[in-house]
A and B are shown apart, each in its own frame.
Chain A
Amino acid sequence: MILIISTCKEKLHELEFVKPIEQVLKTKKISFFTKHYSKLKKGDFANASKIIICGTSLQDNQFIKDINCFRWIPEINKPILGICAGMQIISLVYELERQVKELDIKNNLNHALKTQTEIGYYFEFFNRDFLSLEGEHEVYHLHNNYISIPKDFVSFTKSRIPQAIKHKQKEIYGVLFHPEVRNKKLIEELIHM
């Protein structure tokens, strides 16, 4: 059972950022359940074999204000894929792990979040296999921000900003692009892992 997590402040945006992911799983006859991050309960993680954290719209940064809702990520020992906002969340949470004081957390959030708008199709070069992607691939971007690679992660792309990252030990993946548009195989690779 796959847990799909919505990061959309507006429910209408889920048709754009969550439903396409659900469609990939439906096509492959994979069972899943979907929840907004603010509605997650401990039992949800126990019921999930893998977790996908979806993206949201360009103007929606509510998930950053609510970053503490995601502090469970380092504690869950299950494969996770973060898409766009999902990747930013994973990176931020791991950055925050190193912070102790609230003041540090606020300062660190502002410091970690960097601006780089990319909208539309771009070519990215994957310098080794990343969930079935290797070499040059066209990907769909829709983001205003990115986060530097967290300490425990490595980058898989030859790019100016991190586009695909993985935790050094755990099966935690992040992509800044939207694989549900052009690279559905990446999602399939995760669910069949």
Chain B
Amino acid sequence: MKLALLFSGGKDSLYAGYLAKKYGHQISCLISILSENKESYMFHTPSIEKTKIQAQAMQIPIIIQKTKGKKELELKDLEEAIRLAVKKYKIEGVITGAIQSVYQSSRIQKICNKLKIECFNPLWQKDEIEHLNDLIKNKFNVIITGVFAYPLDKNWLGRKIDKKFIKNISELNKKYKINTAGERREYETFVLNSPLFKKGLKVKSFKDTKEGENSWRREIELK
């Protein structure tokens, strides 16, 4: 089946796309939503402009749809992007990286249902630690590009998701209820390499910015 991957550049959407391919589907295009609202309910924004570079690394065409990021109105922009993917790439369905968020997944389900196309959520309800371990097992090179919850701080920026990361984030889960997969937007990620990439990416330089009391973001330059 020809599918479009709703793509943020982070670990969940990319792993969902990896599973779709593993199960015999074709990722015909990526869809990234570039939100002007950094607090968007639907779309995660860190490094999303870098998704173009990731798309090149995967040799998959990408549709980038801009949105003001206003609640519900941004859904119209998403629908427009999916309609374009249907028309241009003849997709029959969409893949999302939703794990727990009913807010996100139900809205995407409604759009797909309206357009009478399939909606695949292969990470739905997945155990978060199993998911992190699967990323390592399948050679995903994932770094942290944003932290937004205490006690996560600047020191977590740039960290790779590895066994030590899983151990440390699990400890924070027990002590502070930090979701280990960052499902409540405690942290955000960027994928530098995965089995879907023809060529891996490297960080050339970066700049860390404090955005709030417990909020840090890392802007990266890629090579």
Contacts and interface: CB of A to CB of B under 8 A. Distances in A.
B25 A120 contact: no
Given A13-B120, A119-B113, A181 B125 contact: yes
Contact of A19 (B106, B110, B119, B126): B126
Interface in B100-120: 102, 106, 109-110, 112-113, 116-120
A20 B113 contact: no
Given A11-B23, A120-B102, A16 B110 contact: no
Given A15-B19, A57-B118, A58-B119, A23 B127 contact: yes
Contacts, number: 65
A57 B120 CA distance: 8
Contacts of B93: 59
Nearest to A24: B125
Interface residues of B, number: 25
B117 A15 contact: no
Interface string A49-71: 00000000111100000000000
Nearest to A58: B113
Contact of A16 (B25, B120, B127): B120
14 contacts: A11-B23, A11-B24, A12-B23, A15-B121, A15-B123, A15-B126, A16-B122, A16-B125, A20-B126, A59-B113, A59-B116, A119-B110, A119-B113, A142-B109
